[in-house]
Structure 1
Amino acid sequence: MQRIIDTHIHVWDLQRAAYPWLQNDTSVLNQTWHIEQLNEGREQAGISYGVLVQASSNLEDTQLMLETAYQTSWIKGVVAWLPLKDPNATLEILEVQLLKEKYCKGIRHQIHDEQDSKWLLQPAVIDSLSILEEKNIPFDVVAVLPEHIETALAVAEKVPDLKMVFDHLSQPPIKTKEQFGRWGELMKVAAQHKNFYAKISGLGTTSGDFENWSATDIKPYVHFALQHFGTDRCFCGGDWPVALLAGSYTKVWNVYKEVINDLLDPFDSDKVFYSNAQHFYNL
């Protein structure tokens, strides 16, 4: 039985927190999603453990994730949110609550929803990221544009010891089948920084072909990530429930398993499916 940690699971409750990105969304996503709804899919996909990831820029969302973690034996970590534009508040929340939380394992901000692609480079945000660096708390980067990767590279210059992971492989050009263009150039540069990691996740929705995407479509991009970041700095995430737009949770994991087990031997695939995530998030 292959050990797998799913490092990218969302829950949200429309009665508990605000989710601005869901306004006017007409898909299956615009409803409350509880962790129990994943039970059957998790068993079918053979997932050992999971990490909950921030879904909105407010503390109510973080509280919901922490409660869910305490109530769900297989959830081992939470990637929370902090008001990074306010370093004093960031430090206070960390010291009063999150540093004492056994489940708080990382921080994320939905930078892809900010109008300014350089949002992370604001001096106050850099100060907050420096606090994360000092406390050894990793940061999830949601890069959907090449400019977001450029911004992350600039952050790495200013906060060199901050561990960062690119969620969803920073949206590779699967849709256009480009190999590998501007995305590839920037990800190659990022891979040269020892503190950048790559999360193999969200590739079904990235493909643009929700009905028919397959291992063949994503394999070149997964191979690229493994080649450049190495088998010690890549790990996987299912991106539930967002990934449901492009098929079942089981399909997502079957495709990832097919690709990674084809590219790697059992020793290295175990690192990508399990131990790298354990190391990065200190699970």
Structure 2
Amino acid sequence: MQKIIDTHIHVWDLQKAAYPWLQNDTSILNKTWQIEQLTPEIDTVGITSGVLVQASSNMEDTELMLDTARNTNWISGVVAWLPLMDTAKTQQLLEEKFLQEKYFKGIRHQVHDEPNTKWLLQPAVLDSLKLLAEKDIPFDVVAVLPAHIETALEVAHKIPALKMVFDHLSQPPIKTKEKFGIWGELMRTAAQHKNFYAKISGLGTTSGSHDSWSAEDVKPYIAFALEHFGTQRCFCGGDWPVSQLAGSYSKLWNIYTTVVNSLVDQQESEQIFYNNAQQFYHL
């Protein structure tokens, strides 16, 4: 069985942190999700290790993830949150806390929930991102609109040393089956920057067909990412528990492994499922 790092797992606890995006959510997501609910499934899929990813813009969410990582033997990293709008506070937290933290591996901000699609281009945020680049700390980009990708491209122009990964392939047009439209143009441009990576994740929910999505639905978009970013700059994530909206954890990993292994050879497959993530997040 091949080694797999799941680079996109969420946990949240409604008693310990605030999750504004879950307000008024009537789905299965609007409750506490703990790592113990996922752990029994990882052996079935063959997950070797996992990375927890920020789910809210507060320190309580980050503390929950770090605590979960310390108490879960197969979790090897945390993509945390920092107050990027406050550069001095970001620097202080990095120097006094996070740089000594064994599980701290990256930063994310839910830019897709900000009214301003150019949120990352604010001077204070750019100064904070420069700190990340100086310390070789990668940044996860949540792009759900073309404008978010355009903003990330501007960030790359201003801070070329910053390593960034597009979560969920920046929402490709799987739903409309478009090949590949404005998404394709922007992602093709992004792929020309050597520090942009692509995370193959979240495609079941992106497909819009939820329970009925298949390997054939997502294969063109995964093939596009592999073609343009190359097998050196793509890796995979499950997006649990959000992925539960589109079927089981084993279903999504079966689809990802089937599609990727149909497109590349064994050595490249090992890069995509294991080595690239290890290198990107310094696991």
Q: Report the TM-score, using the length of structure 2 for normalisation.
A: 1.00
User: How far 1:211 moved relative to its partner?
Assistant: 1.8
1:88 is paired with a residue of what secondary structure? helix
Superposed CA offset, 1:58-112 (max 9, x none): 0000000000000001000000000000000000011110000010000000000
Whole-angstrom distance in 1 between the partners of 2:213 and 2:73: 32
What pairs with 1:246-265 in structure 2 (closer than 5 Å)? Answer: 246-265=246-265
State yes or no: 1:65 paired with 2:61.
no
Whole-angstrom distance in 1 between the partners of 2:167 and 2:273: 15
Whole-angstrom distance in 2 between the partners of 1:181 and 1:278: 32
Listed as ranges, the gaps of 5+ residues in structure 2 are none
Mean alpha-carbon deviation: is it higher for 36-45 or for 191-200?
A: 36-45
User: How far 1:254 moved relative to its partner?
Assistant: 0.4
| Alignment-derived partner of residue 198 in structure 2 | 198
2:212 is paired with a residue of what secondary structure? coil
Superposed CA offset, 1:127-163 (max 9, x none): 0000001111000000000000000000001111000
Letter in 1 for 2:234: C
| Alignment-derived partner of residue 38 in structure 2 | 38
Letter in 2 for 1:74: W
1:92 is paired with a residue of what secondary structure? helix
Superposed CA offset, 1:190-210 (max 9, x none): 000000000000000000001
Letter in 2 for 1:97: K
User: How far 1:40 moved relative to its partner?
Assistant: 1.9
Superposed CA offset, 1:145-194 (max 9, x none): 00000000000011110000000000000000000000000000000000
| Alignment-derived partner of residue 100 in structure 1 | 100
What pairs with 1:152-163 in structure 2 (closer than 5 Å)? Answer: 152-163=152-163
**Alignment coverage as a number of residue pairs:** 283
| Alignment-derived partner of residue 86 in structure 1 | 86
What pairs with 1:112-131 in structure 2 (closer than 5 Å)? Answer: 112-131=112-131
What pairs with 1:1-283 in structure 2 (closer than 5 Å)? Answer: 1-283=1-283
Whole-angstrom distance in 2 between the partners of 1:227 and 1:161: 23
Whole-angstrom distance in 1 between the partners of 2:44 and 2:3: 13
User: How far 1:45 moved relative to its partner?
Assistant: 1.1
Whole-angstrom distance in 1 between the partners of 2:103 and 2:132: 16
Whole-angstrom distance in 2 between the partners of 1:22 and 1:30: 6
Superposed CA offset, 1:17-41 (max 9, x none): 0000000000000000000000122
Letter in 2 for 1:167: D
Whole-angstrom distance in 2 between the partners of 1:227 and 1:216: 17
User: How far 1:46 moved relative to its partner?
Assistant: 1.1
User: How far 1:43 moved relative to its partner?
Assistant: 1.6
Listed as ranges, the gaps of 5+ residues in structure 1 are none
1:48 is paired with a residue of what secondary structure? strand
Q: Which runs of 4+ in 1 moved over 4 A?
A: none
Whole-angstrom distance in 2 between the partners of 1:75 and 1:22: 24
